[in-house]
Amino acid sequence: MSEQKPPFVPSATPPTWLGVMGGGQLGRMFVHAAQAMGFKVAVLEPARDCPAGQAADYLLSASYTDPVALNQLAGLCAAVTTEFENVPAQSLAQLAAHSFVAPAAANVSIAQDRVAEKRFFTECAATSHVLPAPHKVIENEADIDAIPDDLFPGILKTARLGYDGKGQVRVRSRDEARKAFQDMRSVVCVLEKMLPLAYEVSVLAARGADGESAVYPIAENVHRDGILFSTTVPGPNVSAECARRAQHAALAIIGKMEYVGVLCIEFFVLQDGSLVVNEMAPRPHNSGHYTIDACITSQFAQQARAMAKLPLGDVRQHSPAVMLNILGDIWFENGSPGSDMPREPAWDKVLALPGANLHLYGKDDPRRGRKMGHVTFVAPTLTEAQENFACACRILGIPL
């Protein structure tokens, strides 16, 4: 490994600046964590009124590819990160000519393309001991004719720009796959075999500029309509052996990439107990929000440490936790936006519950499926946290 350059230590005079590409809620929570450590934070985001921009010390309102804005961000900030994976990798490469960028453009580009991601996971299997689901890359109609019969039923996913269930269609036959491919305008896709899923877990790992790595406790996730609904840590179904295998795989993957920053990797646990790697996000993750209230070092503080070349923080969890994702649906009666005007949910009743930690993202336009915030319940026991989670769902009209 090359000689390690000094860290970017927080300073008041002159201030030490960190930069974020992207203005969403992940950027907002990163801003809060970095500011608490003494950094100033600049955000580059096209939208002027964005969650991260509301909290940032400086907002550059420009396209992610704007050369003037990129040069300004690089000139101001000692280090730059991204808050979502679809920031153009070329922009990150341009920033890297003047600033330390973590994660690197090469790492982000893998996560931006399901084909590259599946290939990379397969290459890692010799050390991670975990493979992706059986799959086939679909680039044209001829590839559909060549799909092995045993890949059906499957899920056809666009290779790029799919998230929260978008760009995905379940297909039971070759004809359905052909129609779905045409409906997706024949862009490059990946067909994944549907597997007998028991539950889903995610592993949050971090790697510093010095090559040291850390892995958080395993999170067990529940999704609804392709969007994360809840995260429970420790996972009630996660065995010690499953946790060990998933954490080992995550550390192998993050090491193979020579990654710097926070990386979230999602796994499927099948009914026979085997583990399948699904996808990764080169950034803090929705399923890692529990770390803000339940761990010594939150995922956002960890990201700031890694990109500033500081030592990684302690990842110990001090309290069992259950995180509830808050979508815009609950601003409307019966969760169905229609002609009725939105009304604010009963946050006072939610906050009356023991161990409730409310995080709203500064968005003033609730819409169905839009992430508006989250509530994390911490408690001395997992049972207590789960009970308070259930009470909150009843208060907010969310079916269990």
Q: Is 216 annotated as contributing to ligand binding?
A: no
pLDDT of residue 1: 40
User: Would you place residue 132 in the very low, low, confident or very high pLDDT band (cuts 50, 70, 90)?
Assistant: very high
Strand order in the sheet with 17-21: 58-60, 40-44, 17-21, 79-82, 100-101
Which tokens go with 64? 């992610």
Return the exposure string of 141-173: e unless at least 16 CB atoms fall within 10 Å of the residue's CB, then b: eebbeebeeebbebbbbbbeebeeeebbbebee
| pLDDT mean over 27-52 | 97
Which tens digit of pLDDT belongs to each residue from 267-320?
Answer: 999 999 999 999 999 999 999 999 999 999 999 999 999 999 999 999 999 999
Cβ partners under 8 Å of residue 2, min gap 6: none
Q: Which two tokens stand for residue 180?
A: 């779905």
User: What does the alpha-carbon distance between residue 16 and residue 3 come to, in Å, rounded to a whole number?
Assistant: 22
35 assigned binding-site residue: no
Instruction: Establish whether 338 is an annotated binding residue.
Output: no
Is 72 among the annotated ligand-binding positions? no
Q: Classify 355 in phi/psi space as left (phi over 0), alpha (psi -120 to 50) or beta.
A: left
Q: How far is CA 327 from CA 88, 336, 347, 354, in A?
A: 27, 12, 14, 22
Distant-in-sequence, close-in-space partners of 344: CB < 8 Å, separation ≥ 6? 331
Is 273 annotated among the ligand-binding residues?
Answer: no
Find out whether 333 is annotated in a ligand binding site. Answer: no
Q: Is 373 annotated as a binding residue?
A: no
Per-residue pLDDT band at 226 (split at 50, 70, 90): confident
Asked whether residue 64 carries a pLDDT value surpassing 50, the answer given is yes
> Has 195 been labeled as part of a binding site?
yes
Q: Which residues, in sequence order, are bridge partners of residue 194? A: none
Structure tokens at 369: 């499926």
Closest by CA position to 18, among listed 78, 69, 60, 74: 78
Q: Is 278 annotated as a binding residue?
A: yes
Task: Determine if residue 168 is labeled as part of a ligand binding site.
Answer: yes
For residue 2, what pLDDT is reported? 44
Give percent of the chain above pLDDT 70. 96
Reported as a single tens digit per residue, the pLDDT across 365-385 is 999 899 999 999 999 999 999
Q: Is 318 annotated as a binding residue?
A: no
| Residue 176 marked in a binding site | no
pLDDT classification of 337: cutoffs 50, 70, 90: low
Check whether 210 is labelled as a binding-site residue: no
Structure tokens at 30: 């990163």
Q: Say if residue 40 carries a ligand binding annotation.
A: no
Higher-confidence position of 45 and 164: 45
Give the domains, in start order, of the chain with CATH numbers: 17-101 (3.40.50.20), 134-193 (3.30.1490.20), 197-396 (3.30.470.20)
Encode pLDDT of 182-212 as tens digits. Answer: 999 999 999 999 999 999 999 999 999 999 9
pLDDT of residue 161: 73
- In the DSSP assignment, the letter for residue 20 is E
Is 279 labelled as part of a ligand binding site?
yes
Question: Quick one: average pLDDT of 325-335?
Answer: 86
The response to whether 193 counts as a known ligand-binding position is: yes
141 known member of a binding site = no
